[in-house]
Amino acid sequence: MSTESLQREFVGITDEALDELRARIGVVIESTVEPWCYEATRDAIRHYAHGIGDDNPLWCDPEYAKKTRYGDVIAPPSFLFACNRVISGYVGGLPGVHAMFAGCDFEWFKPIRRNAQIASRVYLKDLVEHETRFAGRAIQQIYHGEFYDETGALIASADTWCFRTDRDVAREAGTKYRHVRGKSHKVYSDEELARLYEYYEREEVRGARPRYWEDVTVGEKLPTMLKGPMTITGFIAFVQGWGSLYIRAHKLAWQLLKRHPKAGIKNRFGIPDVPERVHWEPELAMKVGAPGAYDYGPERCSWMSHAITNWIGDDGMLRKLHCEIRRHNPEGDVLFINGTVTAKFEQDGNKMVEFQLVAENQDGERSAVATAVAQLPSRAT
């Protein structure tokens, strides 16, 4: 289907808007949009951890954490998504064109300690054009960010990216979800739910028992981690800890839409509301080509890091995570995250382990892939 023959409801990608966006490459963003978290307080850390379904006491229990080498709670590595909205997908340019968070490439240099005051520096790094099954022409919009604590020490650096897609093309001509459009999601029986919940019963947080580098074997499998079944409640739980991109109330909502009028899509009452509704409003999600209300991309990346931090224990540290989002997880889906140790090596005197992770839904469809590197303690030290 040609874009000329589309029944237009939304704005498409134009070369003029792309040229304007390219002029921003390399320019540090002086954002007027506050991060959700300026500081890694006890409550902010706990809310984020609980938002991704992570009850690790290293993040959530000060009395437990007091006995660890940190002496207090620290934040999950992916907490940094709550500390800069651009890194989380609040992208500029191409007004009215849909944005979907699609991946991250993080490197951490130190733990995020309780009450750290976090500053960030972000700029548009690159724009890459793709031809996709989801929406035809799409623009990968890549940002680079750095995070610092109050001493000026570098906590982490990251590249994250969104895909900008033509909503009308995705809805009318996209082929990626053609086989599920208009079909009802399966309904789970009590017996099926009981089998799924066994994964939660078996989920292990390694915690205070060190996992030594010498005891790890290449080819070793990590326990399967379950996420789901997906519910709107679960998506909102993530928003409570992460902070969302566009959710504002009353006067603040009006101020947002006054600054960015193309961000307002009228709801069934004729009221302009934000595109983030695709995460809880199935009708709007399907209008932009998705199969239904779906989870958040940063949430998915956080789940991959959760699988690693559960396994490495308190004395390990996640150092790198590269995660690519491959498809939406609509309401009702289940994800199974599996990981494998792919390498062991030493770097600058540190003992490192490399992983591959794959997240697949209940139908065996690949939802996300990741590679990760973690530092482990050694029996020799």
pLDDT digits (tens, 9 = 90+) for 124-165: 999 999 999 888 999 999 999 999 999 999 999 999 999 999
Tens of pLDDT, residues 308-347: 999 999 999 999 999 999 999 999 999 999 999 999 999 9
| Farthest-apart Cα atoms in the chain, separation | 68
pLDDT at 174: 84
List, in sequence order, every residue forming a beta bridge with 273; answer none if it has no partner.
265
Distances (CA, A) of 334 to 197, 229, 238, 367: 11, 5, 16, 10
Amino acid at 303: W
CATH of the domain at 226: 3.10.129.10
pLDDT at 101: 97
Residue with tokens 């080819």: 219
pLDDT at 4: 59
> How long a stretch of residues is the chain?
381
Contact 367, 327 (CB under 8 A): yes
Tens of pLDDT, residues 179-235: 776 667 889 999 999 999 999 999 999 999 999 999 999 999 999 999 999 999 999
**How many percent of the chain have pLDDT more than 90?**
87
Rounded-to-integer distance, Cα 39 and Cα 243, Å? 13
Rounded-to-integer distance, Cα 310 and Cα 26, Å? 36
Range of the domain at 72: 3-376
Residue at 381 is within a domain = no
**Token pair for residue 212?**
């030594």
Residue with tokens 């969302």: 244
Residue at 233 is within a domain = yes
Residue at 65 is within a domain = yes
Tens of pLDDT, residues 270-281: 999 999 999 999
Overall average pLDDT of the 288-298 stretch:
94
Rounded-to-integer distance, Cα 378 and Cα 381, Å? 6
Rounded-to-integer distance, Cα 119 and Cα 354, Å? 29
Determine which helix (DSSP H) or strand (DSSP E) holds 105, and give its type and residue range: strand 98-108
Residue at 237 is within a domain = yes
Say how many domains are in the chain.
1
Contacts with 347 (C-beta within 8 Å, 6 or more apart), sequence order? none
pLDDT at 1: 45
Q: Residue 88 in 3-state DSSP?
A: coil
**Token pair for residue 26?**
């390399």
pLDDT at 6: 67
Residue at 86 is within a domain = yes
Q: Residue 219 in 3-state DSSP?
A: coil
Short-list 53, 125, 54, 116, CA closest to 80: 116
Tens of pLDDT, residues 37-79: 999 999 999 999 999 999 999 999 999 999 999 999 999 999 9
Q: Whole-model pTM?
A: 0.95
DSSP class of residue 224 equals P
Which residue would you say has higher pLDDT here, 263 or 149?
Answer: 149
Rounded-to-integer distance, Cα 276 and Cα 274, Å? 5
Q: What DSSP string runs through 108-169?
A: E-S--BTT-B-EEEEEEEEEEEEEETTTEEEEEEEEEEEEE-TTS-EEEEEEEEEEEE-HHH
